[in-house]
Amino acid sequence: MKDPLARATSRPPATLGEGCVRRYDPEALDETSGCEFRGAAELWRRWQDEQARGEKPQPK
């Protein structure tokens, strides 16, 4: 085997930027890249509500 990584089954998604501003390309992310989080919008809204009320976020 010339390249041991050639048989790897996963690859990191494409990125944008460099250095400390490097981030994943949102256009390249989908459910096949393992980044789908269906509860993200609800979690974000709940966290914002708790912050607005001055509450400490509680794990659920």
* Tokens (6 digits) for 2: 């010339």
Q: What is the pTM of this model?
A: 0.41
On whether the CB atoms of residues 15 and 23 are closer than 8 A, the answer is yes
Give tens-digit pLDDT for 16-48: 999 999 999 988 887 777 767 778 889 999 999
